[in-house]
Chain A
Amino acid sequence: MNQLFSLKRWLQLMRRHWIENSKFFLISTLALLGVIAIAYLFLLANNHHYEAYSELILYLIGLYLVGSIFASGAFDPLQKKERGMAYLTLPASHFEKLLTQIFFNLIFFTLVYSLCFYAMSELFEFIAKSRAAAEPLKYHFKPLDWKNPYGIMDITHYFLLIFFGVQALFLAGSIYFKRFSFIFTTIVLALFVMFLGYYLNRIQGGLLKGYYGSGASLRTLDPSAKIYRLPAAMVFTLKWVMLLGWAPLFWLVAWFRLREKEI
């Protein structure tokens, strides 16, 4: 018997997770639809000039916020003794238990959230278009034009990729923190972002005096001096590691933490 992963056992675990949580998923989906509808109503009510671009911003904010809340409840059973005991003693490996949570957070949540958003988007765009068609002088509707991107449109996919890392952090946080995992993980994330900002602005400036960074290059203030540039292959690798590496890193942290969890 494979003690790390068995497809049969994992499918049983997925089935169990689905059966035991289906009611919660249904209610959550309805609540999500309601919240998205309220957000759209505000968008519609406050804008005579309705831009579909605002929906994109709304989608991303919602994805990060709701996704983090959902992920921070992933290992909720471990926060209570009786639930944690039943969860940890269930005959499945820690890897299978983690993989189930990753599936339901990464794939299931993102899919359901996107579908809910898409449904509401279609409904409210229809209303906005009808309104603009009925009163063209008063109301306007501007759809998203992906051929002529502006704002964050051409970096949307980066936001999506980083979202998986943020979600994985909240997943790990739900094992690490016994209580208020969402709040504590948010604090950790905020501290990390602040440190990153501080590092980029102050520490880097102090250590590399006379130089300034530009993308993956390091330039001197003297325009006639040397320019240091990382090789293109390394830039490419680093970029994708930074974009995609966070999620596996936090999953690994979550796996180790789950293995050493005591109740």
Chain B
Amino acid sequence: MVRIDSLEFAYKKKAVFEGLNLELKAGHIYGLLGKNGTGKSTLLRTMMGLLFPDNGIVNVFGYTPSRRQPAFLQEVFMVAEEFYFPPVSVEKYVKCNAPFYPAFNHEQFWYLLQEFEIPRGNQLDQMSYGQKKKVLIAFALSCNTRLLLMDEPTNGLDIMSKSQFRKVMAGVATEDKCIIISTHQVRDLETLIDFITIMDNGTIRFHHHIEQIQRILQFGFSFEKTLPEDTIYSEGALTGHAFIRKVENSKENTGKIDLEMLYKAVNLKGDAIYAAFAADV
């Protein structure tokens, strides 16, 4: 669905991507993780056609995003971290924007808005940031585009709203859609994501399916002072140590993945993690 080959991109003289390769398929929710300034938002904007590659190929279901053709734009939607709403009511917003998306589902939109507890007739410019974000998420999901890009979607949402977000997201993931969520708040999305992509310095450092991670890595906690010999990564907690080690027998694995710890492990003990995955191949 999304194929990126040898992507090179720079802001003036600051290089962001120098030969980035990535392939994303339909039917998955990708979690795009990375430090600030590693190029996550730039990557999403390149896929959306808002930034143009200096070199390389970005192909989204056969289209070149930078051409911003209507046929392409009606099949993608981006929930940006910073977004804009005109000073109109929710109803008017939907009335004048929904016709641009052929698969837009009005019933779904009003249902999602109800789930998010947003009153129907409210003026968009009088809503709080969190409420506006929920309207945008509901609109984005109701567009039913083949590609949905979300940049920090849970930023600004309260605890209840995050839970509502997870619930609605779980209901929209289908075989024909590809959802990419860029976030720092990994714990918000632990149960949603089925593919983890970690970026660093404009390169993809880790790109694996949850099932593969479960097959290879075990996330555990030890109350003892000593850790298992085959520990790849560990960090101290108040009562013991959380650790990651290579699974000996995948059947014994509990399946629980601590995304935050995995992210740290990739960044701090990258070689050991890669070695574990290389052995699986």
List residues of A whose CB falls within 8 A of some B CB.
1, 3, 6, 9, 12, 15-16, 19-21, 23, 77, 80-83, 85-86, 88-94, 96, 259-260, 262-263
**Distance between Cα atoms of A92 and B83 in the complex (Å):** 19
Pairwise interchain contact B84-A19, C-beta atoms closer than 8 A? no
**B71 touching A262 by the CB < 8 A rule?**
no
In the complex, what residue of chain A is closest to B51 when comparing beta carbons? Answer: A262
Tally the A-B contacts, defined by beta carbons under 8 Å. Answer: 74
B70 in contact with A1 (CB, 8 Å): yes
- Pairwise interchain contact A82-B82, C-beta atoms closer than 8 A: yes
- From B51, B74, B92, B99, name the one whose CB has the most chain A CB atoms within 10 angstroms: B99
- The residue on B at minimum CB distance from A16 is B96
9 intermolecular pairs with C-beta atoms under 8 Å apart: A1-B70, A12-B100, A88-B49, A89-B50, A91-B73, A96-B70, A262-B50, A262-B52, A263-B50
- Say if the beta carbon of B225 comes within 8 Å of chain A: no
Closest to A3 in B: B69
Q: Is B78 close to A, CB under 8 A? A: yes
Residues of B within 8 A of A92 (CB): 70, 73, 100
| Neighbouring B residues of A6 by C-beta, 8 Å | 70
Within 8 A of A (CB), among B173-199: none
B99: contacting residue among A12, A77, A93, A94, CB under 8 A: A12
The interface residues of chain A lying within 8 Å CB-to-CB of B87 are 23
User: What is the total number of residues of chain B having a CB less than 8 Å from a CB of chain A?
Assistant: 29
Minimal Cβ-Cβ distance residue in B for A263: B50
Closest A residue to B76 by beta carbon equals A89
Is B15's CB within 8 Å of the partner chain A?
no
18 more A-B residue pairs beyond the given contacts A1-B71, A91-B101, with a C-beta to C-beta distance below 8 A: A1-B70, A12-B99, A12-B100, A16-B96, A19-B96, A20-B86, A21-B86, A23-B87, A82-B80, A82-B82, A85-B45, A85-B48, A85-B84, A88-B50, A89-B76, A91-B73, A260-B52, A263-B51
Bound state CA distance, A80 and B80, in angstroms? 13
Taking the closest CB of chain A, its distance from the CB of B134, in whole angstroms, is: 17
Within 8 A of A (CB), among B67-108: 68-71, 73-74, 76-78, 80, 82-84, 86-88, 92, 95-97, 99-101
Contacting pair A9 B84 (CB below 8 A) = no
Contacts of A9 in B (CB 8 A): 70, 100
Q: Is the interface of A mostly helix, strand, loop or mixed?
A: helix
Report the nearest A residue to B73, measured CB to CB: A91
Among candidates A16, A21, A96, residue contacting B97 with C-beta atoms closer than 8 Å: A16
Q: Are A19 and B92 in contact (CB under 8 A)?
A: yes
In the complex with contacts A19-B88, A91-B100, A81-B82 CB distance below 8 A:
yes
**A86–B82 Cα gap in the complex (Å)?**
10
B68 partner residues in chain A, CB cutoff 8 A: 88-89, 94, 259
Q: B residues within 8 A CB of A90?
A: 73, 97, 100
Instruction: Give Cα distance in the complex from A77 to B73, angstroms.
Output: 18
- Report whether A85 and B50 are in contact in the complex, using a CB–CB cutoff of 8 Å: yes
Closest CB pairs A-B (n = 8): A91-B73, A91-B74, A16-B96, A20-B86, A82-B84, A82-B82, A83-B84, A91-B100
| Shortest Cβ distance from residue A223 to the other chain B in the assembled complex, whole angstroms | 62
Evaluate contact between A20 and B50: CB separation under 8 angstroms.
no
Docked-complex contact B70 and A3, CB < 8 angstroms: yes
Which chain A residue shows the least CB distance to B75? A91
Q: Which residues of A contact B82 (CB under 8 A)?
A: 81-82
- Tell me, in angstroms, the Cα distance from A240 to B84 when the chains sit together: 43
A91 contacts which of B70, B78, B96 (Cβ < 8 Å)?
A: B70
Interface set, chain B 124-165, CB cutoff 8 A to A: none
CA distance A92 to B101 in the complex (A): 10
Known A-B contacts A1-B70, A20-B96, A91-B70; A85 and B101 likewise in contact (beta carbons under 8 Å): no
Q: How far is the CA of A254 from the CA of B96 in the complex (A)?
A: 25
- In the complex, chain B residues whose CB is within 8 Å of the CB of A80: 84
Q: Cβ of B100: which chain A residues have Cβ within 8 Å of it?
A: 9, 12, 90-92
Bound together, the chains give a CA A216 to CA B127 distance in angstroms of 63
Given the contacts A82-B80, A88-B50, A19 and B73 also touching, CB distance less than 8 Å: no
**Nearest CB of B to A137, in Å:** 55
Query: Would you give the shortest CB distance from B181 to chain A, in whole angstroms?
Result: 17
Residue numbers in B under 8 Å from A83 (CB-CB): 84
Which of B68, B95, B97, B101 has the most chain A CB within a 10 Å cutoff? B68
